[in-house]
Structure formats: C-alpha cells, structure tokens
Amino acid sequence: AEPRENGQHDMERPLSKKGRRTAKQTGKAMKGHANLPQKVYASFARRACQTAKRVIKQLDHQAEITLREDLYLAEPRVMGFTI
C-alpha cells in the first residue's frame, strides 16, 4: 500500500505501484489454470478491492467480487473459513 497521508485511515490507502504490478502478474499466472474463480472475496480496504479487480481483469473471466468487512486485517484461519 501507499504510505498514509495526513489523517488517512488505513482502509483508504491505495495499492502501491509494486502492488499493482504484482496483482497484474498474479492474474496472468492464474489465467492458464483450468479452475478459475467464480467468486472472489476481498476486504473493504481500498487496496484489497483494487487488487481483486486487477487480478480478475487479467483473467478475461467473469468473477463476482464480494467485499467483506471481516476480512480486513483477518488472520489466516478466518480467511480459511471464508473459502
């Protein structure tokens, strides 16, 4: 994520240049797989939404993005239950 600006809440921080590049690469890497996601879960954080959208865009595939408040700063076990 980009560094916080004065008074900016963590959830409002945008995806960094490196994050944008990584999301694009991730989507391209996933594109060749037979089992593409039908649904993508992301937290409400701005950068998480941006990541999900960038990955899906690279897939050339329709996938529904569902934003969930409980995924913001969630521990891996919480994310595992979501899947």
In DSSP notation, 19-75 reads HHHHHHHHHHHHHTSS---SEEEE-SSHHHHHHHHHHHHHHTS--EEEE-GGGTT--
pLDDT tens per residue, the chain (83 residues)?
A: 677 777 778 889 999 999 999 999 999 999 888 889 899 999 999 999 999 999 999 988 889 999 999 899 888 887 776 66
Tell me the pTM: 0.82
The answer to whether 64 touches 34, Cβ cutoff 8 Å, is no
Q: Would you state the structure tokens that stand for residue 30, as one six-digit string?
A: 């996933």
